[in-house]
Amino acid sequence: MDMNTISDFDPGDVRLPGGHFIGGSPVAGGQWDIEVNRPSDGLLLGAVPDGDADLVDRAVQNAHQALQDSGWDRRPPRERARILRRWADLIDEHSLTLGRLEAVSSTRPIHDCILHEVPFTAEAIRFFAECADKYSGDLLPTRGGSLGLLAPEPYGVVGAITPWNFPLSMASWKCGPALAAGNAVVLKPSELTPFSTLYLAELAIQAGLPAGVLNIVNGYGASTGSALVRHPLVRKVSFTGSTATGAVVMSEAAHHGMKPATLELGGKSPQLVFEDAGDIREVASRIAKGFTSNAGQACVAGTRLIVQRRIAAALVEAVAEAVAELRPGLTWQAATRYAPLINGRQADKVHEAVQASIAAGARVLTGGDFFEGTGGGFFYRPTILTEVDANTPAVRDEIFGPVLTVQVFDDEDEGIALAGHPVYGLAAGVHTQDLGRALRATRALAAGTVWVNRYGRTHDFIVPTGGFNGSGVGKDLGRQAFEANLRHKSVLIDFD
């Protein structure tokens, strides 16, 4: 959709899908006591039910049976690919509906939903559709008179749990590779942003996906999510969220079936800027977008600026000027470019982290509080903190808000050392025109993704994403994500 066709809309006019989605149809189940509020103004949008263990069992049993009845795992890979490509086409065709569902309940402005989130979701599904027949097993060398094979096969039912910050694209990361590989999926979206995912599942059925091969269950993580991870028919788990919750998911997966888990978790990502980084304003724009996109509510947000002393003052001033232009707006207004925080709880967490950092000696260069006059919305000013060290809360902890800390270094080794983190290793940015320095930094940084002279993902789906250390296990995107949804069976055949 062209940018010029994006217009304001009335959130009251958006039809909200309801309940869960099991066996190809909406399903009621559980108490409808999960209220979904609009982050832009704090008003009640609607409600979804909290699925209990019995509801999760129903969804998983249905998916397991649908897999057997439909033969989805045994269908020719090109047939699976055709259905997934049709699903992607429908996502594009329904971009306005999906975009509005996403914008009204999440932190994503309609402009970003239409131009970025929905197209990204469709292309991710297409990428994994094309993986369906591009991966094979191995013929293994054995003794004469025998044949050794390594045969890939789907797990069966994959349990997926997605976060609230990018509901649609995160669903595509989970569903795309699992379905292309021949699995069924039971997915629990965040209780804060459930509606676009429910509609996404409706489109999958319209595209020809067998009913039950993709089921959606709503509910809280501690109840519904835990029941999904622990279910004996769930053979693999894929989760995106906080490191603390990821540890619980990993433990429950291990203790209930020893099932593998792909975990894309938290981050505290550095932006390492050397004095030869190039045009200061261009670099400043990258830094600003890296920590203010989606109001900093991204696991890969580049929230630690580590800059060489000679250019530090000029760069920090340029970043401050760049973020000073940002203005809050309702997510259903086409002109809005700056997102709200998801809810009051998250807003309090961000502000408390800033205040704790100030108490520890940090100085506020800009921001440090909420925008005024935004009604009931949760809009936090882009904040830059200087005079910090490794023990400052805003340096140490993942805040999930638009807060940038600034640390200064003199030589390369010092800069690389400051860029390290004792817990997280999700992503990092390196800014330099010296290729040798860029490669040295890339090798030295303990991060699952390193961007050089840029920051953030694009539609390069072949490039996997995933963290080191406390930032996760395994990869989303890339062929690695597809392969992670297959298990391998060793076969040895004697024929003499």
Q: Sorting pLDDT into bands at 50, 70 and 90, what band is 496? A: confident
**Span 169-185, average pLDDT:** 98
DSSP 116-160: IIHHHHHHHHHHHHTTTTS---EEEP--TTEEEEEEEEE-SEEEE
Render pLDDT for 64-81 as a digit per residue (tens, 0 to 9).
999 999 999 999 999 999
Provide the Cα torsion 202, 207, 208, 212; round to 10°. Answer: -20
Residue 424's identity, in one-letter code, is Y
By annotation, the residues acting in catalysis are 264, 299
Q: What percent of the chain has pLDDT over 90?
A: 96
> For residue 4, what pLDDT band results from cuts at 50, 70 and 90?
low
pLDDT greater than 60 at residue 155: yes
CA-based nearest residue to 273, from 471, 455, 465: 455
Decide: helix, strand or coil at residue 240: strand
Q: What CA–CA distance (Å, rounded) separates 373 from 60?
A: 46
Residue-wise pLDDT for 334-350, tens only, equals 999 999 999 999 999 99
User: Is the pLDDT score of 29 beyond 80?
Assistant: yes
Mean pLDDT of 436-462: 96
Give the separation between CA 349 and CA 102, rounded to whole angstroms. 23
Residue 375: the pLDDT is 85
Specify the pLDDT at position 458: 86
User: For the CA atoms of 162, 165, 171, 177, what is the dihedral angle to 10 degrees?
Assistant: -90
Confidence of residue 153 (pLDDT cuts 50, 70, 90): very high
Return the DSSP state at 449: E
CA atoms within 13 A on the CB side of 326: 28
Whether residue 1 has pLDDT greater than 60: no
- H-type alpha helices, 304-398: 309-324, 344-359, 393-396
* pTM recorded for the entire structure: 0.96
Please give the residue that has the higher pLDDT: either 3 or 415: 415
Q: Tell me what the mean pLDDT of segment 145-171 comes to.
A: 97
The pLDDT of residue 3 is: 52
Residue 441 pLDDT greater than 60, yes or no: yes
Give the model's confidence band at 374: pLDDT under 50 very low, under 70 low, under 90 confident, else very high.
confident
Average pLDDT over residues 221-245: 97
pLDDT mean across residues, the chain: 96
The stretch 424-436 carries a mean pLDDT of 98
What is the percent of the chain with per-residue pLDDT over 70, rounded to a whole number?
A: 99
pLDDT at 445: 98
